[in-house]
Amino acid sequence: MHRSRLSLSLFALGVAALIVLNLSTFIAAYPETYALSPGINTSGHILAKDFSAYYVAVWRLWNNPAHIYAVGALGGGEPVINPAPETFKYLPSFLLLTSPLLALTYQQALLAFDIFQFLLLPLMALLLYRMLEKKGLALTFIVMVIALLLPFPTSHWGFSPSYYWQWGEGQAKVLETFLLLLSIYLASRGRPVLSGVVLAFGFFDPRFGLLAVPLFVMYNWKSLKLALPSLAGALVLSNVVLFYPGTGASFVNMVFLSSLSTPLYYYSLIPFFTFVVLIFVNLKEMIVTFDYYEVFKRYTKSWNIQK
């Protein structure tokens, strides 16, 4: 598709503006990273930031893996976070990605994690542009508005409540969105093995990993024999600690038996709406790809020929 230099320049300026507005929200949210407050929680209880769950769980992974999913502080040399650390709710693979943060103090690590994720925004923009370059600049920009800002200006939460609480809580939804997008991009470029490995690491919150599966399958449709084993293998290897005595049982208890809830908080809307709109944008291609009647006909025709 031919694009004039002017249209590309305006598009690039628009994307830059989205990131600058997000930076403004980042700055507005910075004091929240220090605040002892109910935060986004509706119960009114004073809580540590969501990042506290990651930081303490990383320490437990390397020092006390059977208690990665334990509720509250355990003592015994683990980092002290007031009033108490949040409970870790992701797959252990996430802890492999965030282990280097343990070299920093808690507050330094939270800020470093936020900065690292903010720096992923231009890369997310590039991935979206490459994946949607045949869809037109206008549609591509709409998708980027959702993925890079999800705007809803407020007086206290900057230009985006979703990103305000993403930064304020030290959440991981930008990292997750980036990994899922990277997996889909690699699939679209004919790299099924890498696509599967990256999706496995982006699957640390399975709710949004599952949302990316239709696109993963569509782009890897001709290479599923490579993509699916790499996904399965990477999932098992990156979460092997679940086979450590007590860890798997505590994970199952946390997911199915505990009273812990995981509603769609503001920051969860970042990957949710990004992939909902990507599925919608690619709906025509998905219908063609998943034409089960044609697939069945090809399969039975091939079987009859072999017979």
Distance CA 235, CA 216 (A): 15
From CA 205, how far away is CA 255, in angstroms rounded?
12
For residue 158, the model assigns a pLDDT of 92
At 76, is the pLDDT very low, low, confident or very high (cuts 50, 70, 90)?
confident
pLDDT of residue 28 exceeding 80, the answer is yes
Amino acid 292: pLDDT: 63
Residue 162: which of 17, 36, 13, 29 has the closest Cα?
A: 29
The residues with which 47 forms a beta bridge, in sequence order, are: 37
Q: What is the pLDDT of residues 111-150, one digit of tens each?
A: 999 999 999 999 999 999 999 999 999 999 999 999 999 9
Residue 307 has pLDDT above 60, yes or no: no
Q: Report whether 205 contacts 300 (CB < 8 A).
A: no
Q: Is 18 exposed, middle or buried (0-12, 13-18, 19+ CB in 10 A)?
A: buried
pLDDT at 79: 95
Helices 173-188 + 192-202 axis angle, to 10: 170
Give how far Cα 240 sits from Cα of 41, 42, 91, 102, 232, Å: 32, 35, 10, 21, 12
Measured CA distances, 280 to 30, 96, 143, 150 (Å): 34, 33, 10, 17
* Segment 182-192 mean pLDDT: 98
**83 cis-preceded (ω within 30 degrees of 0):** yes
Q: What is the residue type of 129?
A: Y
Q: What is the mean pLDDT of residues 45-64?
A: 93
- Greater pLDDT, 2 or 73: 73
Q: Which two tokens stand for residue 237?
A: 């290897």
What is the model's pTM? 0.92
Q: Report domain extents, the chain.
A: 5-276
pLDDT at 255: 86
Exposed/middle/buried for residue 204 (C-beta within 10 Å: 0-12, 13-18, 19+): buried
Question: pLDDT tens, 262-304?
Answer: 778 999 999 999 999 999 999 999 988 887 656 556 555 655 5
Q: What percent of the chain has pLDDT over 70?
A: 91
| CA–CA gap between residue 210 and residue 208 (Å, rounded) | 5
Q: Give the chain's mean pLDDT.
A: 92
What was the pLDDT predicted at 296?
56
How many angstroms separate the CA atoms of 160 and 19, rounded? 12
pLDDT surpasses 90 at 50: yes
Please say if the pLDDT value at position 306 is more than 60: no
Q: What is the pLDDT of residues 80-112, one digit of tens each?
A: 998 989 999 999 999 999 999 999 999 999 999
Could you tell me which residues come within 8 angstroms of residue 35 by beta carbon, excluding any fewer than 6 positions away?
168
Indicate the pLDDT class of residue 18, thresholds 50, 70 and 90. very high
Q: What is the mean pLDDT of residues 179-201?
A: 98
* DSSP SS3 for 133: coil
